[in-house]
Structure 1
């Protein structure tokens, strides 16, 4: 085992531990190697996207975009504990994505049932006086389309195997199965439908004080060790660069089109490539002797 392989293993293990938690290896073995029927076949569009390092960029963009719905943000702000236990929330989210993407039907159904149960208990009143409940199909659909749009756009830009037009539609259709199981209705199944549904939500969206606080927490005061601040900053800059222009001022995000198209895009490519290499999903580099 050469020194480069040792470095790759240690970095990959550190990244995986942050995303999946201490029980990550056991969960990974259970999810990927358990016997039983699965909804999505190896090589399917959802497998291609959800197994790629571009998800790190897409995940940050999804959190920023989702925060723009006042009722969804009120629910997250009051109930999710993302400030007190951000890594725990990330690990629960990554486990859910893995179970519903790569797991057996039984694992996926169990994960969905758990989330639906939690959604039923998450209810309250937003600062503007409107009541909310996380099981509202309209809110579930918003969280879904913001997430899927972010994952797909990040994969288009930074994915190792970009999808063609048919593959992009297949990805939207694959993810629709999970959204419907969670309780969403009128879920898009093509990219064109995804764009249409996102546009339909525009009149409801606004940057509340809670949304701006969340953006500052995610981008300015991230819960990452000091040694990882610079790499995380490059990933978050890549995520911000993919946010729609109309979201920038409401969330107090910078808009630097020339820098974003050059320096930020190049650094995003380097960082996702490095993560892909560390996690073992890229060809190995030659050993140094």
Structure 2
């Protein structure tokens, strides 16, 4: 990993507004146990000095990476049928986005016992989701092949968003990152999920001919551009972040999904996203899962921001 820069100290009113926004995001879903600060001393599945702990602390790249991951999921017809046809995304997109983001962060920062319970609930739900695609292909949400694709697209999205819009990652860091996600992938049932950058690239090429454009993808993009996810003062950046998500997709994926020039970022927009991503990466937020997890393990709240 790169050398960490010193934390960025904001004026108190601005810091408090950001903390309130993060707290609202973390605690909004009462059905989700989002206490990352307990039990005291209990380790996560991934260590604090990992690449994943750095990548997942950045809210901007998490949003961008999450959007990119969902685009890739919806490009696979069986996953699309399960995600779009048998979920609450259309009815309550904000709550679904929150729950998906918190689940991802739980696998990185959550205490092992909490993470195991969450994954157990999710796998039980997956076991009940099955159906048929529009062209008659049966699917099951607990199909190992589909679980591997969902895991791989999520890990791809968060990694590439961080590398593109926050800080570049070298080959060693990328390999560590992929390996760090394997244990929780297996708990989800995604046995055989990519453990290296090369394995992920091979999986993407294997899936190439199965991915397809769909009106559902564009409906999803319309939702995430307009849903009130960010504070009102930051609302203007949300559409840029959706375009930033499309920007990190492989060029051949964009071509297959018909995500053309209309989704390109202008040079000044690209620079704005990069500067925002780099700045946010230096702002410790004590209500965020990363800081909560540090407190749980007896580490300084700004542990992930200290140079070493």
Q: TM-score with structure 1 length normalisation?
A: 0.84
Task: Confirm or deny that 1:110 pairs with 2:117.
Answer: yes
Report if aligned partners of 1:86, 1:223 keep a CA contact under 8 Å in 2: no
User: In 2, distance between residues paired with 1:97 and 1:11?
Assistant: 21
Q: Which has the higher contact order (CA 8 A, sep 6+)?
A: 2
Q: Aligned residue for 1:18?
A: 25
1:189 corresponds to: 195
Distance 1:241 1:29, change over 3 A: closer
Does 1:90 pair with 2:97? yes
Going from structure 1 to structure 2, the CA distance change for 1:5 and 1:204 (only over 3 Å counts) comes to: same
Name the structure 2 match of 1:47: 53
Separation of aligned partners in 2, 1:24 and 1:121:
19
Q: Which residue of 1 aligns with 2:6?
A: none
Q: Which residue pairs with 1:287 in the alignment?
A: none
> More helix by proportion, 1 or 2?
1
CA distance in 2: counterparts of 1:111 and 1:74, whole angstroms: 23
Tell me how far 1:25 sits from its aligned partner. 12
Query: Which string of whole-angstrom CA distances, capped at 9 and with x for unpartnered residues, describes residues 257-289 of structure 1?
Result: 9x6473232121133245446653798xxxxxx
Q: Does 1:165 align with 2:171?
A: yes
**How far apart in 2 are the matches of 1:122 and 1:95?**
21
Structure 1 vs Structure 2 CA RMSD = 2.9
CA distance in structure 1 between the aligned counterparts of 2:261 and 2:191, rounded to whole angstroms? 34
Partner in structure 2 of residue 63 of structure 1 = 70
Do structure 1's residue 211 and structure 2's residue 217 form an aligned pair?
A: yes
How much does 1:104 deviate? Answer: 2.0
Q: What TM-score, normalized by structure 2, do the two folds share?
A: 0.80
Match of 1:265 in 2: 270
Unaligned runs of 5+ in 2: 1-8, 286-301
Q: How does 1:107-256 map to 2 (within 5 A)?
A: 107-160=114-167, 162-219=168-225, 221-224=226-229, 228-255=234-261
Whether contact under 8 Å (1:12, 1:278) holds in the other structure is no
Secondary structure in 1 aligned to 2:181? helix
Superposition deviation, residue 174 in structure 1:
0.8
* Distance in 1 (alpha carbons) for counterparts of 2:232 and 2:156: 30
State the 1:51 CA deviation.
1.5
- 1:286 maps to which residue? none
Would the aligned equivalents of 1:57 and 1:235 in 2 still touch at CA under 8 Å? yes
Gaps (5+ residues) in structure 1?
A: 284-289
